[in-house]
Amino acid sequence: MARVVAVCGMPGSGKGEFASVLNNHGIPVLSMGDMVRAEVRRLKLEESPGIFGEIAAQLRAEHGEDVLAVRLADAVDELLKTNAIVLIEGMRGTAERVVFEQRWKRNFFSLAVVASPDTRFTRIQNRGRSEDGDRAAFEIRDNRERGWGLESIIREADFLIDNNIDLTEFQNSCRNWLSDFENRD
């Protein structure tokens, strides 16, 4: 049976890099953050550090905390028809996890990527995304995502990869995890 893995982690922890490594090994990736970025573009809003969080919060307030997961699930099911593993990048809340657990039951797994706040902030400053800002914006974003239950899903994840290491070591950790996961019963 095909399996779904959702990767979670605080901003800047390395979720996107994890997704990139898996994608380079043929695993299709669907990004929850890309859904928010697409909504910002659809609304023709100026991209700024706060707007993405505002739109994500607005979507959750208007349509429920699980809105992004519900919208993404059918696309995941389509990919499961032709892929043994599908990765969801950017699970951020307990409501999203509930949708995924109910949908795929024992074929759903979560993986948390963790890194220290200072490491994450340095990475965010270096990546240059329009949603990234200064230290105050970083802390606001961390707090908002904690409010969605992110710390809980990180703590309760099926797998954990520590990313307080250099990029090459982290990429090796990701490849090793994938190899082990593909060979599980």
pLDDT digits (tens, 9 = 90+) for 150-178: 999 999 999 999 999 999 999 999 999 99
Residue 27 has pLDDT above 80, yes or no: yes
Helix, strand, or coil (residue 133): coil
Q: Which residue has the higher pLDDT, 101 or 35?
A: 101
pLDDT > 90: what percent of the chain?
66
Domain span at residue 105 reads 3-182
Name the percent of the chain in helix, strand, coil, to the closest 5. 60, 15, 30
If one compares 135 and 168, the residue with the highest pLDDT of the two is 168
The tally of domains found in the chain comes to 1
* CA separation for the pair 131, 38 (Å, rounded): 13
Domain CATH code at residue 149 = 3.40.50.300
Burial of 8 (0-12, 13-18, 19+ CB in 10 A): buried
pLDDT band at 148 (very low <50, low <70, confident <90, very high): confident
Which long-range contacts does 121-124 make (Cβ < 8 Å, 24+ apart)? 121/12, 123/12, 123/14, 124/11, 124/12
Dist. CA 110–CA 159, nearest whole Å: 6
Average of per-residue pLDDT values in the chain = 92
| Reported pTM | 0.90
Residues in the chain: 185
